[in-house]
Structure 1
Amino acid sequence: MKHLPKHLRPRWRYLAVGIECWPDASIGRRSFQRAVWYASQNLLGDPGSADADLTVVRFAFADGAGEALLKVRRGETDPARAAIACIDEIDGEPVGIAVRGIGGTIRAAEEKYLGRRGQVPEERNVVFENEDRVAVVRNGTGDVRLETSFVGATDLDYDLA
Structure 2
Amino acid sequence: MKHLPKYIRPRWRYLAVGIESTPAAEIDRGTFQRELWYAAGNLLGDPGSAAADLTVYSFSFADGAGETMLRVRRGETDAARAALACVDAIDGEPVGLSVRGISGTVRACEERYLGRGTGRFEQRHVAFADADRPAYARDEAVEVSMPTGFVSATELDFE
**The two structures share one fold, judged by TM-score above 0.5:** yes
Q: Is the 8 A contact 1:141 1:152 kept in 2?
A: yes
Deviation at 1:120? 2.0
Deviation at 1:118? 2.3
Deviation at 1:12? 0.2
Deviation at 1:124? 1.5
Deviation at 1:96? 0.6
Q: TM-score, normalised by structure 2?
A: 0.97
Q: Which residue of 2 aligns with 1:83?
A: 83
Q: How many residues align?
A: 159
Distance of 1:12 and 1:139 partners within structure 2:
34
Which string of whole-angstrom CA distances, capped at 9 and with x for unpartnered residues, describes residues 36-56 of structure 1? 101111111111000000000
Distance of 1:42 and 1:68 partners within structure 2:
22
The aligned runs of 1:42-121 (5 Å cut-off) are: 42-121=42-121
Deviation at 1:76? 0.4
Which string of whole-angstrom CA distances, capped at 9 and with x for unpartnered residues, describes residues 89-146 of structure 1? 1111111111110011111111111111122210111111221111100120100011
Q: Which residue of 2 aligns with 1:11?
A: 11
Structure 1 segments (4+ residues) deviating >3 Å: none
Provide the identity percentage: 64
Q: CA RMSD in A?
A: 0.9
Residue 20 of structure 1 aligns with an amino acid whose one-letter code is E
Give structure 1 stretches of 5+ with no counterpart.
none
Distance of 2:148 and 2:80 partners within structure 1:
35
Q: Which residue of 2 aligns with 1:140?
A: 140
Q: Which residue of 2 aligns with 1:32?
A: 32
Deviation at 1:157? 1.8
Deviation at 1:63? 0.3
Q: TM-score, normalised by structure 1?
A: 0.96
Distance of 1:157 and 1:129 partners within structure 2:
11
Deviates more, 1:31-40 or 1:130-139: 130-139
